[in-house]
């Protein structure tokens, strides 16, 4: 009965808050920053805080045999892929965070995921953040690029449209059912721990300050593996939700490219997915949702020669860090009044080498290499979007003293470290690989240094992107 009263009270307060916002909107001077504040309402039942309710869901998103993976065809399944999410509700519209075992979700594909999940839990798409873990033996989802290919008789090369539609339906159903089984969270745990011998910088600089070699995530060159770790964020961040002493769900963040080896033709969530499964098994089935941080220029190359046995070692090392982060967590009382969600749409500067006319001409006379043709379609989809004034939403979730940033693309780890410096007294975690359309997002200095990540074939934004992102991050974190 108390739980029912709490739920009813939360809904009444949400209605009152919505009504008050309609009255106040004409006098609120907000231009581009759209802010939702949960817990800033005018009333509370009997002077009590509105409880935070938590729900989680888990859906198999493994592609069917014969459908496209990121770089080849799916001929089998090494380990199932999943989409995992958490729904936070209480006062105001629900907030939904989702992590998917695909290489990337872009443009119209990303919009569809957000809209589907928002509709399922009765919230706005701007209250939803969808990210991938960026595994390479996994599908990609760019419905805008697929449309461009379909118009030229090349449909099905990039993705299996029927599979994507079926997946969206199943994910929406799972989120809707999860919300109906929400549980009150009384406490939140914040923890972090170093992960040992997993991440290392991919960018090896020469004496001239330019990139002389790329240490990819699987590296067999002993000289490159002997180079220092370089700039990484060694910490795995952990947020857990509890009902008194009962652990409800664990969320983690760690920045690195996730592939130990790939191009196997067998769908696989790779070592981050294995680490996640190890933690769930250890915790007797408690849901674990993992996000990839700003790992665009970070991989496991120093500690990974690409041998199949090494995948297990990387998984165990990451799982060990996740475990220690949970054990080290500080548990704090939590209510939905402590939640604040902010969305900031930004226009990322288009890379100067991308021109609509040139890309259209290339697509009309496609290369015999499907990878090149798919890349051209993805380039064109992003270029048209930018030239039409399209924006990408950045999000920030405030949970008491925690700040969770949600960014697009393959951001360099420098952005993650910069966010931590902006609010050094706060617990800061970052998930990148949201809307995948921009590709690699380097720092201005990295574009001058060269290297794969900053090359025209990898990055669809210009060096000015650093100023845009840092300004937006600072604005989100300072609210």
The parent domain of residue 354 ranges over 2-477
Q: 182 with 87: CB under 8 angstroms?
A: yes
DSSP annotation of 127 reads G
Residue 47 tokens, joined: 């002077």
The tens digit of pLDDT for each residue in 105-159 reads: 999 999 999 999 999 999 999 999 999 999 999 999 999 999 999 999 999 999 9
CA–CA separation, 245 and 230 (whole Å): 40
Q: 227 with 215: CB under 8 angstroms?
A: yes
CA atoms within 13 Å, Cβ hemisphere of 344: 23
Torsional sign, CA 458, 462, 464, 469: negative
Q: Give the C-alpha distances (Å, rounded to integers) separating 76 from 137, 292, 308, 410.
A: 10, 25, 17, 27
Number of folded domains in the chain? Answer: 1
DSSP-assigned beta bridge partners for residue 291: 253
The tens digit of pLDDT for each residue in 355-392 reads: 999 999 999 999 889 999 999 999 999 999 999 999 99
% pLDDT > 70, the chain: 90
| CA angle, residues 225, 226, 230, in degrees to nearest 5 | 80
CA–CA separation, 234 and 229 (whole Å): 10
SS3 67: coil
Going residue by residue through the chain (479 aa), what tens digit of pLDDT does each one get? 444 434 444 444 443 344 333 333 322 223 333 333 333 333 344 457 899 999 999 999 999 999 999 999 999 999 999 999 999 999 899 999 999 999 999 999 999 999 999 999 999 999 999 999 999 999 999 999 999 999 999 999 999 999 999 999 999 999 999 999 999 999 999 999 999 999 999 999 999 999 999 999 999 999 999 999 999 999 999 999 999 999 999 999 999 999 999 999 999 999 999 999 999 999 999 999 999 999 999 999 999 999 999 999 999 999 999 999 999 999 999 999 999 999 999 999 999 999 999 999 999 999 889 999 999 999 999 999 999 999 999 999 999 999 999 999 999 999 999 999 999 999 999 999 999 999 999 999 999 999 999 999 999 999 999 999 999 999 999 98
């Amino acid at each position: 009965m108390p739980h029912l009263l709490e739920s009813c009270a939360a809904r009444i307060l949400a209605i009152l808050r919505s009504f008050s916002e309609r009255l106040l909107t004409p006098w609120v001077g907000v231009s581009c920053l759209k802010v939702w504040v949960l817990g800033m309402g005018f009333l509370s039942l009997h002077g009590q805080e509105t409880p935070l309710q938590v729900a989680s869901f888990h859906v198999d998103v493994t592609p069917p045999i014969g459908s496209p993976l990121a770089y080849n065809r799916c001929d089998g399944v090494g380990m199932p892929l999943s989409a995992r999410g958490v729904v936070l509700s209480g006062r105001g519209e629900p907030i939904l965070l989702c992590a998917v075992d695909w290489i990337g979700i872009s443009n119209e594909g990303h919009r569809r995921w957000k809209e589907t999940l928002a509709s399922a839990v009765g919230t706005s798409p701007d209250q939803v953040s969808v990210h991938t873990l960026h595994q390479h033996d996994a599908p990609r989802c760019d419905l805008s690029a697929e449309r461009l290919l379909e118009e030229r008789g090349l449909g099905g090369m990039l993705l299996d449209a029927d599979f994507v539609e079926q997946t969206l339906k199943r994910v929406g159903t799972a989120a809707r059912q999860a919300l109906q089984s929400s549980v009150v969270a009384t406490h939140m745990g914040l923890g972090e721990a170093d992960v040992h011998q997993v991440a290392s910088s991919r960018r090896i600089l020469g004496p001239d300050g330019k990139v002389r070699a790329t240490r990819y995530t699987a590296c067999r060159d002993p000289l490159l593996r002997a180079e220092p770790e370089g700039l990484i964020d060694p910490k795995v961040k952990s947020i857990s939700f509890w009902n008194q002493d009962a652990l409800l769900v664990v969320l983690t963040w760690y920045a690195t490219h996730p592939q130990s080896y790939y191009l196997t033709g067998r769908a696989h969530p790779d070592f981050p997915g294995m680490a996640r499964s190890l933690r769930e098994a250890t915790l007797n089935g408690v849901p674990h949702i993992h996000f990839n941080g700003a790992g665009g220029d970070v991989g496991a190359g120093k500690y990974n020669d690409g041998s199949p046995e090494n995948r297990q070692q990387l998984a165990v090392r990451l799982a060990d860090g996740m475990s220690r982060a949970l054990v080290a967590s500080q548990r704090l009382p939590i209510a939905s009044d402590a939640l604040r969600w902010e969305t900031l749409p930004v226009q990322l500067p288009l890379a100067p080498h991308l021109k609509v006319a040139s890309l259209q001409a290339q697509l009309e006379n496609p290369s015999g290499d499907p990878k090149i043709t798919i890349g051209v379609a993805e380039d064109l989809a992003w270029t048209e979007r930018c030239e039409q004034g399209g924006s990408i939403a950045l999000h920030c979730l405030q949970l008491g003293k925690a700040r969770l940033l949600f960014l697009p693309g393959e951001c360099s780890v420098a952005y993650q470290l910069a966010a931590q410096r902006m609010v050094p007294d706060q617990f800061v975690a970052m998930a990148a690989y949201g809307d995948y359309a921009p590709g690699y997002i380097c720092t201005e200095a990295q574009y001058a240094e060269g290297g794969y990540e900053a090359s025209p074939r990898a990055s669809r934004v210009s060096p000015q992107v650093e100023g845009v992102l840092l300004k937006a991050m600072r604005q989100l974190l300072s609210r």
